[in-house]
């Protein structure tokens, strides 16, 4: 765009400051609403998809009274610790009808050299595991044992190593981002537990008596074979180890949340559609008023020799400049709301929330800007063409 033409367009925009300010504000609100609604909906869907991968067990056995903590850990990745005797694992493993079984042990909020905040330490059995595996972003060779660890997405490492409690460990793989506190977790094999706890105590980390004990675990994950039901396995577990556990149904949690998500997104879509229709109607009214106020100006320009094509191009350019500026501003403001505070939004909804990466956020940003630009163009082009088609004599006479 030539400098002279650019100055003239900006001058025309300032000349009709009130109407153009209303137009700019409406477009910015429309962009803000569309960007926030799109990002929140996609983040909730991504969170649900990731949670479905994490909830890869039919049954989760946890100590009596720890059911709520376990559900919060599954749904939100919140740090927690609860324990029962590890000897029950072998007893449960022998129950007929179990196709897969594995265990995990959690250490809640241990401070570590690698991170500015506390991390969750998780001990698991790589041989029997079917819960951690789906979260591994990149396959690794070898086994997780000794000094080898798997880290959450937010754990920083230097040259493929991290330092915990004064000791260095080799990072063999990194977990995919979950958008929960699991991103700041470190996964060790069970055989590394005793040595790690020793180093943690040497560095002054507080450990409870239960955490110091070697023969404890936090949860047992079970998949049931096709010939049995989950209830049959639970009944058999009660007969085998007694009434010392609570049961969490991970897959049912996902189904329940999926239904809640469907209702939430339905409400969000209805509200967004209603507001969108209202804002588009406001756009039509504002564009109508702008073109009505500029009839005499357009007529004079026609008398001075400007063609219809030149006037249409000029008016469309003005609208395009306003639309582009307002939509970019609206999306930027929306990004400042939903991206930094995405985790809080998910927690307030009690739903898993996995915010977009930089690339996907940029794509959504560009798509919203382009979509809003098209909406504004379609809502203004009729009034622009109608105004430029009025005979100059009639337009000027009506203004008298």
Cα separation of 183 and 352, whole Å?
13
pLDDT averaged over the chain?
79
More confident residue, 7 or 362: 362
Cα separation of 169 and 166, whole Å?
10
SS in 3 state form for 315-352? HHHHHHHHHHHHHHHHHHHHHHHHCCCHHHHHHHHCCC
Show the tokens assigned to 91: 């007893």
User: Which pLDDT score is estimated for 309?
Assistant: 82
- Residue 64, classed as helix, strand or coil, is coil
Report strand pairing: 219-224 vs 98-110: antiparallel
User: Which pLDDT score is estimated for 42?
Assistant: 83
* 39 CB burial (10 A radius; 0-12, 13-18, 19+): buried
More confident residue, 234 or 52: 234
- For the chain, count helices (H), then strands (E): 13, 11
Cα separation of 182 and 187, whole Å?
10
User: Which pLDDT score is estimated for 179?
Assistant: 61
Among residues 218, 201, 213, which one has the least CA distance to residue 165? 201
Cα separation of 335 and 95, whole Å?
51
Among residues 400, 386, 381, which one has the least CA distance to residue 292? 386
Distances (CA, A) of 2 to 71, 202, 224: 62, 71, 71
User: Which pLDDT score is estimated for 57?
Assistant: 79
Cα separation of 345 and 76, whole Å?
12
Beta-ladder partners of 62:
246
User: Which pLDDT score is estimated for 365?
Assistant: 92
pLDDT digits (tens, 9 = 90+) for 280-337: 888 888 888 888 877 777 777 777 777 778 888 888 888 888 889 999 999 999 989 8
Question: Is the pTM value of this prediction over 0.75?
Answer: no
The full set of domain ranges for the chain reads 3-51+256-399, 59-248
Among residues 43, 16, 10, 25, which one has the least CA distance to residue 364? 43
Over its C-alpha atoms, the chain yields an Rg (Å, rounded) of 31
């Amino acid at each position: 765009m030539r400098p002279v033409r650019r100055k003239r367009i900006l001058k025309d925009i300032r000349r009709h400051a009130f109407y153009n300010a209303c137009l700019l504000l409406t477009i910015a609100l429309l962009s803000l609403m569309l960007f926030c609604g799109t990002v929140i909906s996609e983040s909730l869907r991504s969170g649900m998809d990731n949670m479905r991968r994490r909830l890869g067990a039919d049954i989760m056995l946890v100590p009596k009274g720890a059911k709520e903590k376990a559900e919060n850990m599954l749904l939100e990745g919140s740090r927690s610790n609860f324990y029962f005797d590890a000897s029950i694992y072998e007893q449960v493993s022998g129950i007929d009808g179990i196709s897969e079984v594995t265990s995990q042990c959690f250490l809640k909020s241990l401070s570590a050299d690698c991170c500015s905040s506390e991390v969750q330490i998780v001990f698991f059995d790589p041989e029997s595991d079917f819960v951690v595996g789906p979260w591994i972003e990149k396959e690794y060779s070898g086994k997780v044992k000794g000094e080898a660890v798997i880290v959450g997405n937010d754990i920083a490492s230097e040259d493929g190593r991290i330092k915990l409690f004064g000791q260095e460990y080799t990072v063999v793989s990194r977990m995919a981002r979950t958008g929960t506190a699991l991103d700041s977790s470190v996964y060790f094999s069970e055989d590394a537990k005793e040595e790690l706890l020793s180093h943690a105590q040497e560095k002054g980390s507080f450990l409870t008596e239960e955490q110091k004990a070697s023969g404890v675990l936090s949860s047992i994950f079970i998949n049931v074979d096709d010939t049995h039901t989950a209830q049959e396995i639970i009944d058999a577990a009660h007969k085998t180890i007694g009434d010392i556990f609570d049961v969490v149904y991970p897959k049912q949690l996902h189904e329940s949340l999926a239904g809640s998500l469907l209702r939430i997104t339905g409400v969000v879509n209805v509200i967004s559609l209603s507001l969108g229709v209202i804002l588009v109607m406001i756009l039509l009214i504002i564009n109508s008023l702008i073109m009505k106020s500029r009839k005499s100006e357009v007529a004079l320009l026609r008398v001075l020799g400007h063609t219809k094509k030149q006037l249409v191009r000029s008016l469309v350019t003005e609208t395009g400049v306003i639309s582009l500026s307002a939509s970019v501003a609206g999306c930027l403001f929306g990004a400042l709301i939903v991206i930094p505070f995405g985790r809080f939004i998910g927690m307030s909804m009690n739903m898993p929330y996995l915010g977009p990466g930089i690339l996907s956020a940029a794509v959504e940003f560009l798509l919203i800007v382009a979509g809003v630009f098209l909406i504004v163009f379609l809502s203004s082009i009729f009034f622009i063409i109608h105004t430029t088609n009025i005979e100059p004599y009639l337009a000027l006479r009506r203004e008298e």
